[in-house]
Amino acid sequence: MPVLTVRLGTRRYEIPFTPGASLGDLLHEFGHVHPCGGRGICGKCRVLLSGHDEPVLSCRTTLGEEDAEVFLPQSLPVSQIAMTGESLTSLPAKGDVGAAVDIGTTTIALALYDMETGGCLAETAMLNPQTAIAADVIGRIDAAMKGKLETQRKLVTAAVDTLLLRACDQAGISAGDVRQRVLTGNTTMLYLLTGRDPSSLSHAPFLADTLFGAEHERGYLPPCMNAFVGADVTCAVLESGMCDAQETALLCDLGTNGELALWKDGRLYVTSTAAGPVFEGACISCGVSSVPGAIDRVLAQGGRMYVHTIGEQPAVGVCGSGLLDACAALLELEMMDETGYLEDAPCMLADGVSLTQADIRAVQLAKAAIFAGISTLLAKAGCSVQEVKRFYVAGGFGSHASMASAAAIGMIPRQLAGRAKVIGNAALRGAARLLLSPQGRAQAEAIAGAAVHVPLGGDAGFNNAYMEAMMFE
Amino acid sequence: MELLEQISQRLQAGKAKEVKSLVQQAIDAGVPAQDILEQGLLSGMSVIGEKFKRNEVFVPEVLVAARAMNRGAELLKPLLMQEGVKATGRACIGTVQGDLHDIGKNLVKMMLEAKGLEVIDLGTDVSAETFVKTAAEQNCQIICCSALLTTTMSVMGDVVRAAEAAGIRNQVKIMVGGAPVSQAFCDEIGADAYTPDAASAADFAASVCGA
């Protein structure tokens, strides 16, 4: 059997393989990901392979009968964006310790809490390794139905275990001290976590055959609202406290899926809109997650563009918040017209980092899905934008994005920009609430049980709004 | 005519307001509505369709152009009815039962309309019976089925069988498309045409209708 030598920084691994094996498959266990699901279109899985002058796409490369050697890029993007930003309690835990976990389509975040004091002891996050299978939930459901359910279950449980050990290490406790766990996530993520066949999520009428809201061997799984709006949204709504107030409020969780919840006159209307992984850096030519050197802010001033990078490092790419700002800046500088046409493509943001016309088009589809989702949800609930008094913005990308830029490019209604309240990874904090508050579970059940789902797929109003929202204005 | 060429150009650029005012200008100048439609709006849209087929433009450009076309078409609609202009053919379209993903379907619909076809949009989650019943009752020459999911594409085979059972199989062409669909699948289920993109679908539909 030929052998593949994998070089990762200074480390070296040898894997025997059968001729004809996919290079991408062999590299999965090294955290090597295929954001486009192996279709060969995103270019994110480029690696250096012996015998090739140019980097190859691992997802489209099969190995022959000869030994081969591959060099992997060293940094695994562990995003800062998943962090809740809570100040950590430095004291070691006195009583029981509990873990809150948010399994996102793209990022998994875990936080440890002192169950007695409620203090946060440690926080950590990593890329969801299922990303290697597919970037979005449809791709993962599809893969699960083609025999990759158990693979995906193992990937996510191993990742949660890794994060738990890492967090325990930070907190200076042993994993055995963690007595309680709450694991939240979208409906698909919980299906995959529990190894449950997701067929019911794959076709209309999309009736999930379970909505969780129960203890599982790995911990408490909060209730989902429906096939598209999961336990993560239940947790985010709980955390926002929007259902405790009289005023009309809108919550927007901006991740790979844009999930929306509207609280009006004692009713909760929910929906989800497929924004795609664009704002996570996937499918953008120079897109990266929030790593050092990622352009996270772009400002137009005096007819020029200024960029800021994370850690003030030399620019390596552009992350979601930078992408959003860049589009707003291009509009303001009239380097892009309202239809998204770039006067001069590609457009340089920094040395080696540019935006292509295709990048702008990808942003356009994502932002239109969010805007059309918001306007259709409001319309269906008979609510005007003016009535929305509070606009909660949750999720990693949402928390770092400039709402002014989001309004400028037509991703959110202008009136909402000034009413935005950023609540970070609200799903994770909501899960922590379930861990710490005795009334939490009953509240979560009540929220999920009362939610009214507003489906957007196939809705003529949504289709029209989507087309209208395609414009950058 | 220069004005019609201008309409086509501005439509390709997605400039909805300009298209609308140019169409109004043409109407005011006495240009027949059918000429404005065909040599202005539809010709612009078919340029976009060709570029889309060659991957020179992406979905947003198509939608932005279609939006501009709709603005112009709204003005023309009453005039076209007065002139008694007939569509070149009629098709019904929908995503198959179990599938709600309709962006691709909507693109195909726009492209077919840009070829001058009348399109009956059955929306999403459409049963085989509904496709066939519509085609029979409304005299459609074409049934277009779209699916995004591998789990739902098998319904397309049901459409073919339902058309046979209803005795309309030789009166109607069944076209299939969507991400998981391929020529091999089309052959397997006995459909008439698989097209990889919306513009190619419109080309095939136009050839069926002799447009």
Q: Which of B83, B101, B128 marks a domain boundary?
A: B83
Per CB-CB distance under 8 Å, the chain B contacts of A206 are 100
Q: Do B24 and B62 lie in a common domain? A: yes
Q: Do A368 and A316 lie in a common domain? A: no
Q: Report yes or no: A200 at the B interface, CB cutoff 8 Å.
A: no
Q: Do B106 and B64 lie in a common domain? A: no
Per CB-CB distance under 8 Å, the chain A contacts of B55 are none
Find tokens 């899960």 and name the residue: A431
> Which residues, at least 6 apart from A62, have a Cβ–Cβ distance to it below 8 Å?
A20, A21, A22, A23
Q: Which of B32, B60, B83 marks a domain boundary?
A: B83
Min Cα separation A385/chain B (Å) = 24
- For residue A400, what are its two tokens? 């770092």
Total domains in chain B come to 2
Tell me, what's the pLDDT at A84? Answer: 44
Q: Do A123 and A265 lie in a common domain? A: no
Q: Which residues constitute the domain of residue B64?
A: 2-83
Q: CA-to-CA distance for A367 and A121, rounded, in angstroms?
A: 36
- Listing DSSP states for A157-171 in one string gives HHHHHHHHHHHHHHH
Q: Do A264 and A407 lie in a common domain? A: yes
Nearest to B151 among A203, A358, A470 (CB): A203
CB contact under 8 A, A470 and B63: yes
Q: Do A207 and A141 lie in a common domain? A: yes
The CATH number given to whatever domain includes residue B74 is 1.10.1240.10
Min Cα separation A365/chain B (Å) = 7
Q: Which of A72, A102, A121 marks a domain boundary?
A: A72
Q: Is A136 part of a structural domain of the chain?
A: yes
Per CB-CB distance under 8 Å, the chain B contacts of A457 are 100-102, 124
Q: Is A354 part of a structural domain of the chain?
A: no
Q: Do A228 and A213 lie in a common domain? A: yes
Q: Do B22 and B45 lie in a common domain? A: yes
Q: Is A169 part of a structural domain of the chain?
A: yes
φ/ψ of residue B104, rounded to 5: -65, -45
- For residue A223, what are its two tokens? 């209730």
Tell me, what's the pLDDT at A37? Answer: 66
In this prediction, the answer to ipTM > 0.90 reads no
Q: Do B98 and B71 lie in a common domain? A: no
Q: Do B7 and B76 lie in a common domain? A: yes
Cα A472–Cα B5–Cα B9 angle in degrees, nearest 5 = 20
Q: CA-to-CA distance for A234 and A219, rounded, in angstroms?
A: 17
Q: Is A356 part of a structural domain of the chain?
A: no
Q: Report yes or no: A142 at the B interface, CB cutoff 8 Å.
A: yes
Find tokens 């087929």 and name the residue: B53
CB contact under 8 A, B98 and A203: yes
Best residue in A284, A467, A472, A473 to probe B by mutation, most B CBs within 10 Å?
Answer: A467
List pLDDT tens digits, range A229-267: 999 999 999 999 999 999 999 999 987 788 999 999 999
Alpha-carbon torsion, ordered A463, B48, B13, B147, to 10 deg: 20
Q: Do A248 and A368 lie in a common domain? A: yes
Q: Report yes or no: B95 at the A interface, CB cutoff 8 Å.
A: yes
Q: Report yes or no: B66 at the A interface, CB cutoff 8 Å.
A: yes
Q: Do B73 and B131 lie in a common domain? A: no
CB contact under 8 A, B124 and A458: yes
CA separation, residue A42 to residues A38, A292, B22, B33, B56 (Å): 9, 21, 40, 44, 17
Q: Report yes or no: A39 at the B interface, CB cutoff 8 Å.
A: no
The CATH number given to whatever domain includes residue B176 is 3.40.50.280
The CATH number given to whatever domain includes residue A22 is 3.10.20.30
Min Cα separation A459/chain B (Å) = 8
Total domains in chain A come to 4
Q: Do B102 and B73 lie in a common domain? A: no
- Listing DSSP states for A123-190 in one string gives EEEEE-GGGGT-SSHHHHHHHIIIIIHHHHHHHHHHHHHHHHHHHHHHHT--GGGEEEEEEEE-HHHH
CB contact under 8 A, B150 and A142: yes
Q: Is A261 part of a structural domain of the chain?
A: yes
Q: Do A101 and A144 lie in a common domain? A: yes
pTM of the full structure: 0.81
Q: Do B79 and B94 lie in a common domain? A: no
Number of Cβ atoms within 10 Å of the Cβ of A384: 11
Cα(first)–Cα(last) distance of chain A, in Å? 58
Q: Do A101 and A212 lie in a common domain? A: yes
Q: Is A186 part of a structural domain of the chain?
A: yes
Nearest to A457 among B60, B124, B151 (CB): B124
Q: Do B165 and B61 lie in a common domain? A: no
Best residue in A207, A360, A464, A470 to probe B by mutation, most B CBs within 10 Å?
Answer: A470
User: What residues in chain A have per-residue pLDDT under 70?
Assistant: 8-11, 29-37, 39, 41-44, 73-95
Q: Do A389 and A253 lie in a common domain? A: yes
Q: Higher-confidence residue: B152 or A238?
A: A238
Asked if A166 contacts A203 with a C-beta cutoff of 8 angstroms, the reply is no
Q: CA-to-CA distance for A108 and A79, rounded, in angstroms?
A: 10
Angle between helices B198-209 and B43-53 (to 10 degrees): 130
Q: Do A99 and A201 lie in a common domain? A: yes
Q: Which of B83, B98, B126 marks a domain boundary?
A: B83
Number of Cβ atoms within 10 Å of the Cβ of A307: 18
Q: Do B74 and B96 lie in a common domain? A: no
Per CB-CB distance under 8 Å, the chain A contacts of B15 are 339
CB contact under 8 A, B95 and A458: yes
Q: Is A132 part of a structural domain of the chain?
A: yes
Q: Report yes or no: B138 at the A interface, CB cutoff 8 Å.
A: no
Q: Do B98 and B78 lie in a common domain? A: no
The CATH number given to whatever domain includes residue A194 is 3.30.420.480
List pLDDT tens digits, range B14-58: 999 999 999 999 999 999 998 999 899 999 998 998 898 888 898
List pLDDT tens digits, range B56-93: 898 899 999 999 998 999 999 889 878 877 788 999 99
Element at B23 (helix H, strand E): helix B16-28
Min Cα separation A361/chain B (Å) = 6
Q: Is A355 part of a structural domain of the chain?
A: no
Q: Which residues constitute the domain of residue A329?
A: 285-349
Alpha-carbon torsion, ordered B102, B106, B108, B112, to 10 deg: 150
Q: Report yes or no: A22 at the B interface, CB cutoff 8 Å.
A: no
Nearest CA in chain A to B13: A339
Alpha helices of B54-125 — where are they, by DSSP H?
A: 59-83, 103-114
Q: Do B53 and B109 lie in a common domain? A: no
